[in-house]
Amino acid sequence: MNNKWVRFILILLFLSGCKSGREERREIRVSGAWALYPMMLVWAEEYGKVSGVKVEVAGGGAGKGVSDVLSGQVDIGMVSRPIREEEIKEGAFYVAVTKDAVVATINSKNPIIKEIYKRGLTKEELRKIFMGEIKEWGEIVGKELKDDKIIIYGRSDASGAAQVWAEFLGNYTQGDCKEKAHANFDGDQAVALAVSREKNSIGFNNLNYAYNIETGSFAEGIRPVPIDLNENGTLDPDEDFYSNREKFVYNVSIGKYPSPPARFEYLVSKGPFKGEAKKFVEWILNEGQKFIEESGYIKLSPEKLQEEIETLNRGRRK
Amino acid sequence: MNLEKRRIILRLLKEKTTRRWMSTFTFLVCILFLLIFLSLLVESTLLLSKYSLKELLFSSKWNPEKYSFGFLPAIIGTIYVTILSMVLATPIAVLSAIYISEFASSQKRILISSFIDILAGIPSVVFGVCALLVLVPLVSNYIGPLIGVETTGMCIFTASLVLSVMVLPVIISLSTESLKSLPVELREASLSLGATKWETIKKVLLKGAAPGIFSAILLGFGRAFGETMAVAMVIGGKNQIPSSPFSAGQTLPSLIVSSFGEMMSIPIEQSALAFAALQLFFVVTIFNFLARWIKIKLKKRWGV
């Protein structure tokens, strides 16, 4: 009996010793968009090496990131879509840290793939395809082909990629695209798989699914769709940058590829970034930029980078 | 003597406290049910205050970014998928149950039952992956052309196929239980009157086990109704009223799972998803009570 009490008191003493002295918390919690999750893991690790601050990263989707930040459960939220009015009203403040791009993807055995790579598709043609106004591949090149009915694939989950793609096509939402698609899939990977299996299909993917990250060439069975930007009916040399990943990424970062469907990835906080979180974001916008390309993302242009650093320090958007 | 008394009092005290503990916990579980219901209701109020119930349930336009929330396509899709999967699964399940309880030797019975139990324990996401990789191409390349329809394979029919496989174990094991629990005298009496084995099963045993089989089917219904992951992966996520079983659709659970993480920070959308959850909760609750009630009713009627 006596023995028990002694043990109990000792344990209590031990536990109270653990929480002695409230020093400043040297850890940062991050949650949010899956699209930015792999990049954030790299940053978290590298930043930990140089600063000794522990960064804990969780996924969950852009909405979870924002609501976690607003409710104070995490310090930084990751968002891979434009921040919504409702979120800004609640006090969300955001800084862009990297870019990625969404491309239309077709099957490598597409019936008119040669022509597509010669002439590209204009934005209007893409709009008509995704809205179901052009129903056959042959219509684009003015030929009667057999078995060329276009199959449209989209995303069933709420995703930033689907939103920026809809935005690029015109005044549309992800919901509009979903309704016009023949089938929608959960996640980028599933869309890529479906496109690689159906020769008449068209979908859209993040560039990391359109290209193979290791080799830099096209992913198995799918091809990105080149966009005819000046709409002159041919793919000019300066529009033809789809042959490998490196070339494509470079052209996105210098702004050759339109935005949307290129998109910024944001970090969000409640009100201006403060303390450790601010230091971390500052590091991301400076030293952290050198890890971006090897992780499969796209650097911000120097001007944009400068602008975001100023925004971070100002503590509000212009 | 005094010591003896103390010991007795202590024992009685223990007796009392354990009973109290147990009843408290049981009570808490019941409270949990109400708490879930209430929290969903509270979360849905924002949506319900802005839109009438009628336009929520009967409009077919779902476009959250433009603030239109029509649940009709998802509701119809849910009913469609559930009924189709039950039509596929029920006959197979009941016949299997008859075989296991009446025909199979005890060795076979153990083997089959363990396989069915494993089937029940497989996580739904595994079913989803299998369906995406095997069933979807099968439906689009073989079954579709066979019937003469064009389909991507991401459709109501595929989702129903997966679901029917998933509810099989539930219905089979419960039906087997109720067949097995029938007294041997029933079988003996029927057979001694000159009925064949099949006649006995048809006219006597199925009637006797009907309440159990019926509630098994209804529980399967509840399971099919709420299945999320496997369905979301193959149904095609399209918010429109499906024109045929081979067109893409949407169910209430797949609607919730595909937009939750992304849209939590937009109050009205979160509220819409909570409302979808509330509808599911409501229906599943009703189904469970219905299953119970039917069981009791049938038992009274046949005096089993």
pLDDT, position A108: 92
Q: What is the mean pLDDT of residues B76-101?
A: 93
Residues of A whose CB is below 8 A from B260: 61, 63
Listed as own residue / partner, the contacts of A298-305 with beta carbons closer than 8 Å and 24 or more positions apart are: A298/A98, A298/A99, A298/A100, A298/A101, A298/A207, A298/A249, A298/A252, A298/A253, A298/A262, A299/A98, A299/A99, A299/A253, A300/A96, A300/A97, A300/A98, A300/A99, A300/A253, A300/A264, A301/A253, A301/A254, A301/A255, A304/A96
Helix (H) or strand (E) holding B40: helix B2-50
With cut-offs at 50, 70 and 90, classify the pLDDT of residue A7. Answer: low
A179 touches chain B (CB under 8 A): yes
Q: Which residue has the higher pLDDT, B109 or B299?
A: B109
Read off the pLDDT of residues B4-23 as tens digits, 9 standing for 90 and up.
899 999 999 988 898 898 89
Residues of B whose CB is below 8 A from A194: 152, 154
Q: Which two tokens stand for residue A108?
A: 């490598």
A174 touches chain B (CB under 8 A): yes
A22: pLDDT strictly greater than 70: no
Cβ of B261 and A63 within 8 Å? yes
Strands (E) located in chain A: 27-32, 54-60, 76-79, 92-107, 151-155, 183-185, 201-206, 222-224, 262-270
Read off the pLDDT of residues B196-230 as tens digits, 9 standing for 90 and up.
999 999 889 988 888 889 888 988 888 888 888 89
pLDDT, position A236: 87
Q: What is the mean pLDDT of residues B231-242?
A: 89
Residues of B whose CB is below 8 A from A190: 132, 233
* Closest Cβ opposite residue B266 in set A86, A181, A194: A86
pLDDT, position A235: 86
Residues of A whose CB is below 8 A from B269: 63
Q: What is the mean pLDDT of residues A277-285?
A: 92
Q: Which two tokens stand for residue B240?
A: 């429109």
A4: pLDDT strictly greater than 80: no
Cβ of A184 and B153 within 8 Å? no
A86 touches chain B (CB under 8 A): yes
pLDDT, position B88: 94
pLDDT, position A2: 57
Average pLDDT, chain A: 86
With cut-offs at 50, 70 and 90, classify the pLDDT of residue A282. Answer: very high
Q: What is the mean pLDDT of residues A145-165?
A: 87
* Closest Cβ opposite residue A175 in set B65, B140, B260: B65
Distance of alpha carbon B256 from alpha carbon A250, whole angstroms: 38
Distance of alpha carbon A72 from alpha carbon B302, whole angstroms: 61
Read off the pLDDT of residues A220-245 as tens digits, 9 standing for 90 and up.
899 999 999 888 888 888 888 898 88
* Residue of B61, B158, B258, B262 to mutate when probing chain A, most A C-beta within 10 A: B262
Cβ of B65 and A159 within 8 Å? no
pTM over 0.95: no
Cβ of B261 and A62 within 8 Å? yes
Residues 6+ apart with CB under 8 A from B198: none
Closest CA to A235 of A207, A256, A262: A256
**C-alpha separations of B278 from B153, B252, B289 in Å:** 30, 10, 17
Cβ of A157 and B266 within 8 Å? no
A197 touches chain B (CB under 8 A): yes
* Closest Cβ opposite residue B152 in set A92, A151, A173: A151
Cβ of B264 and A175 within 8 Å? no
Q: How far is CA A1 from the centre of its chain?
A: 62
A60 touches chain B (CB under 8 A): yes
Q: What is the mean pLDDT of residues B148-164?
A: 91
On the 0-12 / 13-18 / 19+ scale of CB atoms within 10 A, B37 is middle
Amino acid code (one letter) for B204? V
With cut-offs at 50, 70 and 90, classify the pLDDT of residue A131. Answer: very high
With cut-offs at 50, 70 and 90, classify the pLDDT of residue A254. Answer: confident
pLDDT, position B302: 64
A20: pLDDT strictly greater than 70: no
Cβ of A63 and B258 within 8 Å? no
Distance of alpha carbon A5 from alpha carbon A11, whole angstroms: 10
Q: Searching chain A, which residue's CA lies closest to the CA of residue B240?
A: A179
pLDDT, position A55: 92
- The 10 Å Cβ neighbour count of residue A277 is 21
Cβ of B132 and A61 within 8 Å? no
Residues of B whose CB is below 8 A from A181: 236, 238, 248
Closest CA to B233 of B164, B158, B144, B296: B158
A10: pLDDT strictly greater than 60: no
Distance of alpha carbon A259 from alpha carbon B243, whole angstroms: 36
A198 touches chain B (CB under 8 A): yes
pLDDT, position B288: 83
Read off the pLDDT of residues B58-71 as tens digits, 9 standing for 90 and up.
988 888 888 889 99
With cut-offs at 50, 70 and 90, classify the pLDDT of residue A23. Answer: very low
A69: pLDDT strictly greater than 60: yes
Cβ of A62 and B265 within 8 Å? yes
Cβ of B65 and A64 within 8 Å? no
* Closest Cβ opposite residue A173 in set B66, B140, B262: B66
Distance of alpha carbon B96 from alpha carbon A275, whole angstroms: 65
Residue A194 · residue A203 · CB < 8 Å: yes
Structure letter (DSSP) for residue B100: I
Share of chain A above pLDDT 90, in %: 34
Cβ of A61 and B232 within 8 Å? no
A182 touches chain B (CB under 8 A): yes
A157 touches chain B (CB under 8 A): yes
pLDDT, position B1: 67
pLDDT, position B276: 93
Q: Searching chain A, which residue's CA lies closest to the CA of residue B132?
A: A190
**C-alpha separations of A38 from A66, A100, A292, B163 in Å:** 18, 13, 10, 34
* Closest Cβ opposite residue B259 in set A92, A158, A181: A158
Cβ of A64 and B261 within 8 Å? yes
**Number of Cβ pairs < 8 A linking chain A and chain B:** 112
Q: What is the mean pLDDT of residues A102-129?
A: 92
A12: pLDDT strictly greater than 70: no
A159: helix, strand or coil: coil
Residues of B whose CB is below 8 A from A31: none
